[in-house]
Amino acid sequence: MKKLNIAIVGLGNIGSYLYKYLIKNKKILAKKNNCIPIIKFISAKSRNRKRDFKITDKIWLNNYLDAAKSKEIDLIVELIGGAEGPAKKLVFDALKNKKHVVTANKALIAKYGDVLSKIAEKNKVNLEFEASVCGGVPIVRSLKESLIANKIIKVFGIFNGTSNYILSSMDNQNKNFNEVLNNAQKYGYAESNPSADLNGEDVAAKLKILSSLCFNSFINHKIHVEGIKDIDKEDIDNANKLGYKIKLLGFSEIINKKIYQRVHPTLIKKSSYIASIDGVLNAVIIDGKPVGRSIIQGEGAGPSATTSALISDISSILRGNIKFPFSISNKERKKINFSEIRERYFSAYLRFEVKDIQGVLSNITKTFANNNVSIKRIIQNPNKNKGSSSIIIITHSSKDKSLNKIIKQVGNKYFIIKKPKLIRIDDN
Ligand SMILES: NC(=O)c1ccc[n+]([C@@H]2O[C@H](COP(=O)([O-])OP(=O)(O)OC[C@H]3O[C@@H](n4cnc5c(N)ncnc54)[C@H](OP(=O)(O)O)[C@@H]3O)[C@@H](O)[C@H]2O)c1
pLDDT score at 86: 97
Both 98 and 149 in one domain: the answer is: no
Report yes or no on 304 lying in a domain: no
pLDDT score at 185: 84
Spatial separation of the C-alpha atoms in residues 196 and 203, rounded to whole Å: 8
Report yes or no on 309 lying in a domain: no
Both 50 and 145 in one domain: the answer is: no
The size of the chain, in residues, is 428
Cβ 86 under 6 angstroms from ligand 1: yes
pLDDT along the chain (428 residues), means of 10: 97 96 98 98 96 96 97 97 97 98 97 98 97 96 96 97 94 90 81 88 97 96 96 95 97 93 98 94 97 95 94 97 93 89 96 96 97 97 91 97 98 97 92
Cβ 89 under 6 angstroms from ligand 1: no
Both 146 and 291 in one domain: the answer is: yes
Cβ 288 under 6 angstroms from ligand 1: no
Cβ 46 under 6 angstroms from ligand 1: yes
Residue nearest to atom 23 of ligand 1 (CA): 10
Q: Which of 206, 208, 245, 421 is catalytic?
A: 206
| Omega before residue 86 within 30° of 0, cis | no
Both 221 and 285 in one domain: the answer is: yes
For 124, phi then psi, to 5°, come to: 55, 45
Q: Among positive and negative, which fits the CA dihedral 116, 121, 127, 128?
A: positive
Both 377 and 288 in one domain: the answer is: no
Strand ranges in 241-374 using DSSP code E only, listed in sequence order: 244-255, 258-269, 281-289, 292-299, 338-339, 345-355
Both 177 and 285 in one domain: the answer is: yes
Nearest ligand 1 atom to alpha carbon 132: 7
Q: Is 206 a catalytic residue?
A: yes
Both 32 and 98 in one domain: the answer is: yes
Both 289 and 188 in one domain: the answer is: yes
Cβ 301 under 6 angstroms from ligand 1: yes
pLDDT score at 359: 94
- Report which secondary-structure segment, H or E, holds 405: helix 400-411
Both 109 and 153 in one domain: the answer is: no
pLDDT score at 423: 98
Both 144 and 115 in one domain: the answer is: no
Residue nearest to atom 35 of ligand 1 (CA): 45
Both 112 and 150 in one domain: the answer is: no
Domain boundary among 95, 116, 132: 132
Nearest ligand 1 atom to alpha carbon 105: 45
For 164, the domain range is: 139-299
Domain boundary among 70, 105, 132: 132
pLDDT score at 93: 98
Both 231 and 178 in one domain: the answer is: yes
